[in-house]
Structure 1
């Protein structure tokens, strides 16, 4: 029988743990504060900003939102970001990434990647400002660190959706199959965005190649330590493809049955059908605004499926809040005082 994951339930459990950590912060005189930038032309961004603000404030994390327009001068937005970088009361910054299509409707001849890069690259990192404030994990420096496998040492964070997926896989191991580890399985990631596909691929690949010896303080995102011999024995693999790459696999009559874990994030309805997957698959559906999985045909074939809605979505919001707290590790002693002694060596993941 297929287990249908309950994202709301697990997210609520993690929120309770996060709230305890925030209260511990407050007891030490530390008050996490996140500032989000959003663009009023993108209705989805307005909704997401509202949901994140509601969750943050319920946990005791201050959350301030600043509205701009796609037509706002880049220099104006950059100046505001620099003000946030310099403000010691601001412990995290989010720039709500709009849909490219929506941005191009307002700036038809513009270069979205250039525009986006000119903003997100301004968020403070330890190298540029002595502290990391990139809550989303989308700044170029953060993505480069993830690719190089140094993000943990650099006290950075994974993008929230990637962290959410890893948290779900960790929960599967803890509550369903204690012998499971994605680090010894064949994993297929469909969708090559910076929000999920690429950073998740880099992270998994790095762990597999290194034998997955990871610090205990990042238990949520790294799951378990696995020896090189275990990795080699199982012939583990992580593969990243886009829609075209998936179409080529199908056209070549190569099903997805070689992969135990499939993580799909295209937003193409019913893309993954039951006849493509192996028995006992673990299917993580990150499709938006509609799911990628044809649920009826995958039921009773897959062992585990995350639905849309009520799957990865709620976990992404709580993972973002966990990121906001984890960034406090990077703050220098002069800002946090003896609070650093409180968090060093502790597992802050929810």
Structure 2
């Protein structure tokens, strides 16, 4: 009997230790992924790539940016892009145009830059004034110079898992996941947001075949949007191994919605008024402080996806300079017009 009592005590002690281990693990906060640190790695790789390219006798890559209007956020984004280009060794120019520029004038400028052999990468900063159709403008940029990856040909090639100019923000999300070592094969992924420039491309990159020309993540991806009922969003989030929040809604994803250990990538950029200071501050779509106590990985806002977007844009500019993607002009015109 004494032996049995001793054995029971040992079992109770070991169960208590297991319980303690689970409790401490659940209290451990998520790994905060530094987009700035990862972007620095990519910029260092890009700088070395540019230096080798120029040492081999090639012309230094050049990026042209068209900026329409006086949107402060757009000016800030463009400044970040040109600073990154200078740091990497890419020459750049910013072409400023007044808000009242006509669509025809803007198209003429794009056509001129398309045919300028000194321009490798070309982007038109979005958003544009209401009187200009963004899709028309995106399709006017030559696909081989389209460093934003928004031309219909580049979007189509991405959807077919072919080598192309990937949109910088989705590519940045992909690189965060890959470089952090977050597994995607066979995993459940929730992408909250269906925009054609962010949500949809992220879903394409994560669900497609990992053995194709442009390898994908082999994940099972669910896309939600503004008309997804809150309770359904919660149900999808609770089974997701990876959540990518890209809806532009503050506090869309909260701690009670996610499963323990999930990787949460916050793409949202929202300006809200700080209740303490009364000043505007940037927040994402995720309740960062709450979710970090339950997630396995999380990206902050700012300092998460944003720096990666700029870094991937630089990679696309180098790709354009090397003429990695060459498209027959006639086929491009037909695709853009259809």
- Matching residue within 210, 213, 221 for 2:211: 213
Name structure 2 gaps, 5 residues minimum.
1-27, 271-282, 327-338
Larger Rg: 2
Question: 1:261: how far off?
Answer: 0.3
- Matching residue within 181, 184, 203 for 2:183: 181
Number of corresponding residues: 285
- Structural mapping, 1:220-239, within 5 Å: 222=215, 236-239=219-222
Give 1:296's aligned residue: 289
Residues in 1 aligned to 2:253 and 2:136: alpha-carbon distance in whole angstroms: 36
- Matching residue within 212, 220, 232 for 1:249: 232
- Matching residue within 96, 113, 121 for 1:67: 96
Give 1:228's aligned residue: none
Question: 1:195: how far off?
Answer: 2.2
Give 1:77's aligned residue: 106
Residues in 1 aligned to 2:229 and 2:153: alpha-carbon distance in whole angstroms: 29
Question: 1:300: how far off?
Answer: 2.7
Distance 1:53 1:171, change over 3 A: same
Runs of 4+ in 1 over 4 A off after TM superposition: none
Residues in 2 aligned to 1:87 and 1:306: alpha-carbon distance in whole angstroms: 39
C-alpha contact 2:264 2:297 (8 A) present in aligned 1: yes
C-alpha contact 1:264 1:285 (8 A) present in aligned 2: yes
Give 2:7's aligned residue: none
Which TM-score applies when normalising by structure 2? Answer: 0.79
Residues in 2 aligned to 1:70 and 1:266: alpha-carbon distance in whole angstroms: 27
Give 2:177's aligned residue: 169
- Matching residue within 85, 90, 110 for 1:56: 85
Distance 1:316 1:331, change over 3 A: closer
Q: What RMSD over aligned residues (CA atoms) do the two structures have, in Å?
A: 2.1
Give 1:14's aligned residue: 42
Residues in 2 aligned to 1:13 and 1:332: alpha-carbon distance in whole angstroms: 25
Distance 1:248 1:299, change over 3 A: closer
C-alpha contact 1:170 1:223 (8 A) present in aligned 2: no
C-alpha contact 2:190 2:236 (8 A) present in aligned 1: no
Local SS of the residue matching 1:66:
strand
- Matching residue within 125, 149, 152 for 2:161: 149
Which TM-score applies when normalising by structure 1? Answer: 0.76
